Amino acid sequence: MKSRTSLFNPAAFRKDVTRFAPAWVLYTVGLFMILTVVMVDTDHEYYRADQMAQSISFMAFINLCYGLLNGQLLFGDLFNARHCNALHAMPLRRECWFVTHTVSGLLFALVPNTLMMLVALPMLGAGWSVALWWYLAVMLQYLFFFGLAVCAALCVGNRFAMVLIYGIVNTFSLIVYWFYYTIYEPLLYGVCATEGPFLLWCPVWSMIQSGQDLVLVTRRTVEHVTHNEYLVQSVAPGISWWYLIVCAVLGVALLGTALLLYRRRKLESAGDFMAVRALEPVFLVLYTMCMAAGFQVFAELFSVNEYIFLALGLVIGFFTGRMLLMRTTKVFQPKGFLWFGVLAAAFILTLVLTALDPIGITRYVPDADDIKAVRLTDSYDPRSGDEPLLTEEGDLELVRQIHQLVLDGQIHSTRTDGSDYYSNLCLYYVLDNGVTVARKYEAAASSPAGQLAQQFYTRADFILGTDNVQEFAEKIEHVYYDGYKADGESTYGQIYMNYTNREYIEGLVEAILADCAEGNMAQNGHYHDGETTAWLEFALREPMSGYLGDAETGEWYNYIHITIYADSRHTVAYLKAHPFPVEEEVYG
């Protein structure tokens, strides 16, 4: 019979379309609601195009839910023993059922998104290509989530298990990061790992975060009598497409894996928790970790002992996981306690090895010959500091000395008033092989390590980014001053000055540089005891590298804040001798 050799059955396809019409109709209605918000909310084509590009992030969350829903509906008959046996008694091969349901699931997203794109095209004006990029991004997102949902459906035997597996796979890397950040990293003195690799393995998070970078819409300004209107200048793909393409390829691979599992699936597994018995230990470990992380989050929210709740989460997670797998509450047996003991012992062993650090992660100081550049900063994250990357041989060696002093325990010191005063001391190495090493410590300003660090914090390149007066002055657009007027009265806010007097600005910058050379301008207050007398804020025009820019000039503002201390004698003397020229006062 033809139906026995075909990979697609039209009758089954029509049944999928009519049987699950509420799902794809609701999805279509939701898309047009999004279209209404994006298009009707504004009359300007630039904002329409930009908002549609931004909606790609939100569509990742919608496709996360829609892919799961379609996987549940199309392959839900495998979870009911009566339906499963009846359908597989028909003269249709499993490959035919699978391909038909898969085509249905893909069309459930393809058709609504195509309609959305066609309606949006004429409404975007010069930004019409945004609709095409939006369409491609949304379909790639859906392909991954639908493939994962179908694969999850073929691994389990009931709907609840499918939802649980689908959720764990999508969020497990975040849970692993939570465990590392809250349990393991505190045992590694100074180690400051980034969440980047963990987020990279969480597709839903990465898609939501990177969605706004997939399509770049630039603008040009059209001058009108009463207002400025932005028009679309160009539309171009962003930098995050590679990740989305990899996810889509992975979705196709998951569909292929699901087909292999379906061909080997035992029909009597309908109703069981796991249809693939070999995955039961994997599920039990992952589920236990998720439950433990959940209990630990609860403990932190309510400020209770997190380790007690962590242990409680491990116990409850392990035994409730066994209940789900065995479909019984009779799990408190010697064999169950034995396996829990093995899991707990493995967890404790990882904690002990982390604390002992047998491979010397915490004691590692890169060799001078291996360092390409290094950043010394007091930022909360070594990677986000504004301080320059140091490349001079003398600077590299001095930073290594600071690092070694910290590791030798010479970070605790006492100020003259008898109080300890600690601040962040972060190091960020860039090695010749491309590897980066980040460390974060707390050091007293008067400790040996702190005293060496102070030499950097007062340098001009750390404070202004350069020691060249003319180079810095040329970038200045305007300056804010907060302190005292010439008559000695407080400004109670800020005095604003456009950059119209280059000679005055250069003199002010030269005075700041002189104080930097004498060590009187450390912007980290932990390294300067002097009384604050005023504040300066320089607004510099820099090449555009973000969204807060001027579309006509291709530049944006970068703000540098300077604290002036009473002992910053050159700057204070200059401001007294040359009162700050007031053009406009802004009261805060």
pLDDT at residue number 261: 94
**pLDDT band with cut points at 50, 70 and 90 for residue 420:** low
pLDDT at residue number 348: 93
- Tens digits of residue pLDDT in 334-370: 999 999 999 999 999 999 999 999 999 999 999 988 9
- pLDDT above 70 for 3: no
Provide the residue ranges of all domains of the chain, joining segments of one domain with +. Answer: 2-171+203-271, 291-356, 370-457, 461-587
SS3 465: coil
- pLDDT above 60 for 411: no
Residues above pLDDT 70, as percent of the chain = 88
Q: What is the mean pLDDT of the chain?
A: 84
Q: Rounded CA gap, 541 and 11, in Å?
A: 65
pLDDT at residue number 234: 80
Q: Which of 496, 495, 481, 479 is nearest to 540 (CA)?
A: 479
- pLDDT above 70 for 414: no
Q: Which of 210-224, 266-280, 352-366, 511-525 has the lowest mean pLDDT?
A: 210-224
Q: Rounded CA gap, 524 and 527, in Å?
A: 6
Q: Give the mean pLDDT of 291-300.
A: 88
- pTM of this prediction? 0.81
SS3 346: helix
Q: Which of 483, 451, 479 is nearest to 563 (CA)?
A: 483
Q: Higher pLDDT residue, 37 or 586?
A: 37
**pLDDT band with cut points at 50, 70 and 90 for residue 410:** low
Scanning the structure block, which residue is given the tokens 């459906």?
153
Q: Rounded CA gap, 460 and 542, in Å?
A: 18
- pLDDT above 90 for 200: no
Helical spans, DSSP H, in 214-371: 241-264, 280-301, 306-326, 334-356
Scanning the structure block, which residue is given the tokens 């929210």?
301
pLDDT at residue number 253: 97
- Tens digits of residue pLDDT in 17-34: 999 999 999 999 999 988
pLDDT at residue number 48: 87
Specify the length of the chain in residues.
Answer: 588
- Tens digits of residue pLDDT in 469-479: 888 888 887 78
- pLDDT above 50 for 416: no
Q: Residue 21 corresponds to which tokens in the numbers above?
A: 């019409």
**CB-side exposure of 15: number of CA atoms within 13 Å?**
10
- Tens digits of residue pLDDT in 148-187: 999 999 999 999 999 999 999 999 998 889 888 888 988 9
* Cβ pair 2, 87 in contact under 8 A: no
- Tens digits of residue pLDDT in 212-239: 788 888 877 765 544 456 778 788 888 7
Neighbours of 332 (CB within 10 A): 11
- pLDDT above 60 for 371: yes
